Homo-oligomer: A and B are copies of this chain.
Amino acid sequence: MSDQNAQLSASLEDYLEAIFRIVSKKSAARGRDIAKALGVRAASVTGALRLLAERKLIHYAPYEVITLTPEGRKEAEKIIQKHEVLKGFFTTLLGLDEDMAEEGACRLEHGLAQPIMERLLAFTEFVQACPRCGEDWRSQFLDRCTARSKPPCAECLTGCQERLRRAATEVKDAVPQPLTEIQPGVKCVVKSIKNRRTVARRLIEMGVQRGTLVEIKRVAPLGDPIAVKVRGYHLSLRLEEAKSIEVVPA
């Protein structure tokens, strides 16, 4: 009945997303976990699983654990990316708190078209990487939002000139360094990717290129692997791979 190639409904996307998150944590999902994660009854999950299996997005058989097929994983990553891009925009640029950003991303992700998501991501990264929009710019905005204080625009501008002058020389003199030199929590901009055949494949497939923002999330005790966030994807890089990515801090 249901067309295999049809777009997923919003609720099926939710199911797939939840399965992805559970599988990421525990390697396999059970119906019960999914029901709890989404706040629905187990009976509803069964129906959804059948539909997802019909579309070949999950491996599913009654009473068996549930895992994602490669296509299912790809589809889920796309959904998660939308979610993360929205959430990143809400927290980083709009300055909303974590909870509201999470809630808002959940409610908007299904309607967000791919090209708009791309633009939103590009914009978020652009603002973060642009020296003209520094931390003071962000706090100007937040002051306006919360305190409704009048922006001391003239002072801000004269102060900003000084900052820009410094930034101009910094940008010119910035020496790219390998990703491995960057501290966790710091965001940086990709300047070049070496070893294009090996590392680059995965990254380029995801749309990572010169100018893309990368954030180090966590470094394992021995420095390998390195968990990074790029373009709304969380992924882990080998030390070797990270070495061949050159960046400058944003």
Contact = CB atoms under 8 A, between A and B. Distances in A.
B150 A131 contact: no
A83 B42 CA distance: 36
A116 interface: yes
Interface residues of A, number: 48
A47 interface: no
B112 A96 contact: no
A164 B171 contact: no
Nearest to A152: B171
Contacts of A111: 104, 107-108, 110-111
A106 to B, nearest CB: 9
Given A137-B130, A171-B153, A94 B107 contact: no
Most buried by B among A144, A145, A157: A157
Nearest to A153: B171
A6 interface: no
A132 B122 contact: no
A20 interface: no
Q: How many copies does the complex hold?
A: 2
Interface string A156-174: 0110110011011001100
Chain A interface helix/strand/loop/mixed:
helix
Contacts of A227: none
Contacts of A120: 94
Given A131-B157, A164-B164, A113 B104 contact: yes
A154 interface: yes
B122 A100 contact: no
Given A94-B123, A119-B95, A157 B150 contact: no
Interface of A: 90, 93-96, 100, 103-104, 107-108, 110-113, 115-116, 119-120, 122-123, 126, 130-133, 137, 140-141, 144-145, 148, 150-151, 153-154, 157-158, 160-161, 164-165, 167-168, 171-172, 209-211
What 5 A-B pairs are tightest by C-beta distance, nearest first? A107-B111, A157-B168, A94-B119, A154-B172, A108-B111
Given A130-B140, A132-B160, A161-B161, 17 more contacts: A103-B113, A104-B111, A107-B111, A107-B112, A108-B112, A110-B111, A111-B111, A122-B145, A126-B141, A126-B144, A130-B137, A132-B137, A133-B133, A150-B210, A154-B172, A157-B168, A164-B164
